[in-house]
Amino acid sequence: MESLLFPVSNRVRSFQKLDGLWNFKFDPKGVGEKEGWNKGLGGDVIKMPVPASFSDFFTDRESRDYCGDFWYETTLFVPEYLKGKKVCLRFGSVTHRAVVYLNGKEVGGHVGGFLPFNCDISDAAKYGEENILTVKVNNELDETTLPCGNVKTLKDGRKLITPYFDFYNYSGIHRSVYLLGLPETEIEDYDYTVALDGADAKVCVSAYVSGKDEGLEAEVILEDETGKEAGKFLAKQDGKSSFEGTIDIKNAHLWDVLKPYLYTITIKVSKDGEVLDEYKDRIGIRTVRIEGEKLLLNEKPVYLKGYGKHEDFDVIGRGFSYPVAKRDFECMKWSGANCFRTSHYPYAEEWYRFADEEGFLIIDEVPAVGMMRSLMNFVDAGRGKYTSFFETETVPELQKNHLQAVHEMFRRDKNHPSVIAWSLFNEPETISEFAHNYFKVIFDEARKLDVQNRPLTGALEKTSSPEKCQVNELCDFICLNRYYGWYISGGPELQDAKELFIEEMDAWKAKKLNKPFVFTEFGSDTLGYEHRLPSVMWAQEYQDEYYNMNFEVFDKYDFIQGELTWNFADFQTSEGIFRVGGNKKGVFTRNRQPKQAAYILKRRWDSK
């Protein structure tokens, strides 16, 4: 098992961040390996910040929109004291494919641009010396990648990415890179479940350990926020690589929406009294389940209010930034929100740790977006276009990559109390038996992975109607992306849009699914400086009218248990006649200032 635990430093573990200015080089002809770039990029390099997307640093179109192979290089000193430990490089994410070399030797790689991976360099590293680290990256898309897309070759030979989704294909080393020093007997993972009994809680913990040692014992300790011990257990090795035990907590402090309470969990693995490994984290005691048309958090109904988001900001693209994250959480709290969806991919781990501390709820989404052959799927989906996406020879490879991403997302994020549900797709074609068979495999596998049994869902677009969709039965709750009043009957037809919207919701109601419904997208493009009376599309007044119409429809149906608007903030997309400098559906501008509609949301959500 590859450990995806967030790095910590203590008496047996160490880490060093390798963030900073790296060397960078485009490789449009794919000659890097042949010319020995894996051993070092040589001269004529670009200085490139890590972590960050590379596109928005450049002032020329060819560099910004580059598609193909590109390389990073840095040097790292591996201390002598790490000899004898397991020494790894940990990449938070590299978009979309990576091959990693140390001193010219390939030491690992990864396919998938949004989740971490480790490379064991114990044998390849030169201890007490400088080492050359190079990374070959490729950002091309096809119908086996998550997200899906294609590549077009222009007349001058340059490649151009043609995504099947409506956000920019930012690429690069997007998250921090670490040099890890780990013990040979390593805590690779842990998970926990919670059962509530009145004011008390039972916390069952499993810890998974690698290594060849026998006769190990594990101690698991929970401490409250004052540092007082709340409970512990000791487990001895019984022929398995896992240790399991239960801690009973009297008068447990629950982690709740916008009222977070975090316990510190410490896991120690010892032999003959010597601590071989130790890992410390923060967890929340809370339960999540579906009962009929309600989503229950700690056995109480919760109504989801908030946003679909993107990891997207000026200059840094998709690179993680604590200041940006802080501003986003403050804006979301101000607006009365309690939830967001990680559309359309797992975010940097720091987002989840931050949400744990803030009491925000997260629907965690795998990067299964673009599963429809369309460069404007946001329009084509509403018109009922069908592209036979799940009927082609690429499906088995796509499904393999999809399953890998689900495994990695669950393993990385499962211990965050903020994660209350898993989204396994966004807006695929779902009206065929082929789609049902494809996603049944994904859902069946996902149900085996989460010991907390959090609900599974996926976001359905307009073609996935109550009459035609063959995938919604797999979902524990139904997520709808709907744009009545924008892509469907917009502007002067807004009243017709409302009637069409009600017709569809009545059809869903007639199915008597006995499941909660959450709107995971609804919104209208709006220019933050545009005002018109009477209103017109793209003006702020129209965005206000659009939201008020949608809220009138939501409030007619008891089974609607959440509203996550699209989008939190304006974000970058590919160029196109439907987009002026990106998608403008943000409630906030790209630099996180409120549009007029933000006050409508605030008034509604503060009182709901």
Q: Which residues have a catalytic role annotated?
A: 427, 521
Within a 13 Å sphere around the CA of 169, how many CA atoms are in the beta-carbon half?
A: 30
Considering only CA atoms, give the Rg of the chain.
Answer: 25
Each residue of 148-167: b (16+ CB within 10 Å) or e?
bbbeeeeeeeebebebbbbb
Sign of the Cα pseudo-torsion (310, 316, 320, 323, in order): negative
CB 166, CB 82: distance < 8 Å: no
Residue whose entry in the numeric block shows the structure tokens 């494919």? 97
For every residue of 115-183, DSSP letters joined together read: S-EEEE-TTT--TTEEEEEEEEEE----TTSSS-EEEEE-TTS-EEEEESSSS----EE-S-EEEEEE-
Three-state DSSP class for residue 236: strand
E-assigned strands of 357-442?
361-365, 419-426
CB 383, CB 283: distance < 8 Å: no
Q: Which of 87, 16, 12, 91 is nearest to 50 (CA)?
A: 91
Q: Report the distance separating Cα 379 and Cα 462, nearest Å.
A: 10
What does each C-alpha distance from 573 to 26, 69, 344, 529 come to in angstroms?
22, 21, 13, 20
What does each C-alpha distance from 288 to 416, 454, 564 come to in angstroms?
12, 6, 19
Q: Report the distance separating Cα 74 and Cα 37, nearest Å.
A: 12
